[in-house]
Chains A and B, each alone.
Chain A
Amino acid sequence: DGGITQSPKYLFRKEGQNVTLSCEQNLNHDAMYWYRQDPGQGLRLIYYSQIVNDFQKGDIAEGYSVSREKKESFPLTVTSAQKNPTAFYLCASTDPGLQPQHFGDGTRLSIL
């Protein structure tokens, strides 16, 4: 079945450590997105990418980095500069136009 796969489901980070969250899609979508969700809150955009080898900062990009070397993959790295990384991270993808974004199942990141 077509969809978006995020891994791992749960991730723990030590102080000063970078961690990478995986997002893979087989929907052949051009655009991909990373969102952060804090408990009881809505989603906030971290980064997005419209095409391979191109990406743009969202509203809360500080402390995060991304790459888009393949159309199917859009990994997110949470760097040590992100001082409050504990959150639920959701990856999404879509086709151009007024199409809905399709989401993965998310990754819960916690600090050890």
Chain B
Amino acid sequence: AQKITQTQPGMFVQEKEAVTLDCTYDTSDQSYGLFWYKQPSSGEMIFLIYQGSYDEQNATEGRYSLNFQKARKSANLVISASQLGDSAMYFCAMREGLNNAGNMLTFGGGTRLMVKP
């Protein structure tokens, strides 16, 4: 089974509107972390936001927020007030806690976001 699933291969959003990018995960660990990265066309991976499994509050970082629903095993990224520069690939990733001394991440397949002017 996929550990990280991003079901939206591509999405369009109008500039200045909000958009939600979906991410569901699968783990039996109680301790884990969820990360979102942005990858522009130039290729670098930019860290956006992190949510720990024990965090009671949803993470926020500027225009980015994470809608964390632990029982549903979802960690959706919400981008408010979209800008043209938000057009990129977005990846959800998970670090599981147990037996992961290497701090390894598992990545989803990504969602390509396109912001329309």
Residue-by-residue, is A39-58 near B (CB-CB < 8 Å gives 1, otherwise 0)? 01111110010100000101
Known: A31-B103, A56-B102, A98-B50. A41 touches B43 (CB 8 A): no
Q: Which residue of A lies closest to B108 (CB)?
A: A42
Asked whether, in the complex, the Cβ of B102 is within 8 Å of the Cβ of A100, the reply is no
* B: number of interface residues (CB 8 Å): 23
Asked whether, in the complex, the Cβ of A58 is within 8 Å of the Cβ of B104, the reply is yes
Whether A8 is near chain B, meaning CB under 8 Å from some CB there, is: no
Interface residues of A in 2-54 (CB under 8 A from B): 31, 33, 40-45, 48, 50
* A: number of interface residues (CB 8 Å): 28
Asked whether, in the complex, the Cβ of A96 is within 8 Å of the Cβ of B43, the reply is no
Interface centre among B45, B47, B95, B107 (most CB of A within 10 A): B45
Task: Point out residues on B near A: beta carbons under 8 Å.
Answer: 4, 33, 35, 37, 42-47, 50, 52, 91, 95, 101-105, 107-110
Give 30 pairs: A residue, B residue, CB < 8 Å, sorted on A. A31-B102, A31-B103, A33-B104, A41-B109, A41-B110, A42-B91, A42-B107, A42-B108, A42-B109, A43-B105, A45-B104, A45-B105, A48-B104, A50-B101, A90-B45, A96-B103, A97-B103, A98-B33, A98-B50, A98-B52, A98-B95, A99-B103, A100-B50, A101-B103, A102-B47, A103-B37, A103-B45, A103-B46, A106-B44, A108-B43
Task: Point out residues on A near B: beta carbons under 8 Å.
Answer: 31, 33, 40-45, 48, 50, 56, 58, 88, 90, 92, 94, 96-106, 108
